[in-house]
Chains A and B, each alone.
Chain A
């Protein structure tokens, strides 16, 4: 008996019990559907985390001043003033460093005509936008010339622009920061909130020299952000920067560091790892339902073998060999599971779309997850179909024939 004939026999047998076949398939449909939808939700979450990390700059490192102990009193982090722009320039010379952005930060009440707004003032260099991978919505960012001249210019974050200017363009208007009149030369695009909830767009950016000399009266810097060429380099750079800064700050063996470093790549890896775990978790919960669907198939096939014992006896009397019977029942199980797989793919895609539509969750269904779910359904069919099929094929002809 060839495969086509066996398949026809299996289809005909299933057709005779349409309702039962459909209900059995439903188990697999739901199983495959939920695997696909769950993996879709999982990888959507993964994608969103990856996007968020990319907006933060995943290969970036942050160097901040450390604490210092003076007469038993330990200042908090950033309590010392040892970090300078020269340090930032030295770090920029290291290999695998793509861009370096030293900065100082203060807060101020900013005025524009009748309105005012309390916000952060970031003193930065032109490389800042590169390091943060931030684009300008209008105007331009300041240049080296503005830094050298400690010019009275500034670039606004979206929140500040909206609060002070409403719908009007702030370009070429002057705002007053701590008594200093600054011309607005650009507005940054919207960046949104950080992962921990602070509004990145609620800030004004000015040349670092302007903030240091004219607003704060300081010479040190409060923060160096830098971007490494890749994630591995960022881990390596931590050690190199540590050695470089200790040497530059003339710290002796045994003296504590007077700076601190954070690696965003570490955070990225943790977040990505947890997103992966999340996907796996959802996927494995969903595969339980696929497994249950498979058990449903086995259940129905076992019932079917018992019910059709007499039929099997007749077929054996007419010359069916063991493998003919085995194939007939195995194919019935396979048809049920693959039909369930195909329908489940549609259900899963539909479910994923519905989730994407009605919750704000991003959902990404990958072809791989569809393929895996479908193959898994087929495997379930073989696995759970084999036992009933073997049972059917190993019946003894006279006993099967006598069975009523």
Chain B
């Protein structure tokens, strides 16, 4: 039996907003095996974003343990977390989060820069990643010259160019129309099925979550229901 890729136990996270302490996550237990496609659902204010930040190593839990690919992130400092994000995690965001006024190619190259990869290899890998997303004709387009679907595919290319062990998608279809939404979900499906990419998807749309093979419900900071 392989070890879980993602192993969370007894995780708590609280933050203070305007002097009020908010218990965002309470006693979360979650294991994700390699190759899984998991959807985490929940209404707004349920703690989805906080969980996403912690899963993505952008933030650390107050208590509890979190191991990603065998590495204990609660013991890491800022630089180690940055290296871990670069190596293990690919992000796909609701609003794409492409670097503004920067070409598709340069956007996809950016994580490779921080991985310390040389210019020629960077170029070649970024180009290949974009071509896989059927964006070979859009290498030098700026984000504002791309449609929503194209922009999200650039973001997916950028997320995958480092060959991460986990793709973390936060409402990836929140800013696109229904047709594009279906296209993106089909793409994620294919990546999961054909290449065994582990995906954790955060969404509030039932239909989008339907693509995942396991669905979890987050309510008031607790993972309540696993279907």
Contact = CB atoms under 8 A, between A and B. Distances in A.
Given A317-B56, A317-B58, A317-B91, A1 B97 contact: no
Contact of A321 (B83, B87, B97): B83
Contacts of A398: 53, 58-59
Given A311-B100, A314-B99, A319 B115 contact: yes
A368 interface: no
A321 B82 contact: yes
In this complex, the interface size class of chain A, counting residues with CB under 8 Å from chain B, is 20 to 34
A7 interface: no
A399 B82 CA distance: 15
Contacts of A9: 113
Contacts of B158: 318
Contacts of A324: 114
B86 interface: yes
Given A1-B113, A397-B59, A316 B97 contact: no
Interface residues of B, number: 28
B85 A317 contact: yes
A33 to B, nearest CB: 31
The A interface, classified by DSSP as helix, strand, loop or mixed, is helix
Nearest to B168: A317
Nearest to A317: B91
A61 to B, nearest CB: 73
Contacts of B21: none
A80 interface: no
B114 A397 contact: no
Contact of B97 (A5, A322, A401): A401
B82 A320 contact: yes
A168 interface: no
Contacts of B58: 316-317, 397-398, 401
Given A397-B58, A398-B59, A401-B58, A318 B100 contact: no
Contacts of A1: 113-114, 116
Nearest to A402: B49
A329 B15 CA distance: 30
A390 interface: no
Interface in B62-107: 78-79, 82-83, 85-87, 91, 97-102, 106
A291 B56 CA distance: 43
A197 B158 CA distance: 80
A158 B82 CA distance: 84
Contacts of A401: 58, 97
A315 interface: yes
A145 interface: no
Contact of A320 (B102, B106, B114): B114
B119 interface: yes
Given A1-B114, A319-B85, A321-B82, 6 more contacts: A313-B97, A316-B58, A318-B158, A319-B83, A319-B114, A319-B162
Pick the 3 closest A-B CB pairs, nearest first: A319-B86, A319-B114, A318-B111
Interface of B: 53, 56, 58-59, 78-79, 82-83, 85-87, 91, 97-102, 106, 110-111, 113-116, 119, 158, 162
27 contacts: A1-B114, A9-B113, A12-B106, A16-B101, A311-B99, A313-B97, A314-B97, A314-B99, A315-B110, A316-B58, A316-B82, A318-B85, A318-B91, A318-B111, A319-B86, A319-B111, A319-B114, A319-B162, A320-B114, A321-B79, A322-B78, A322-B79, A322-B82, A323-B79, A397-B59, A398-B53, A401-B97
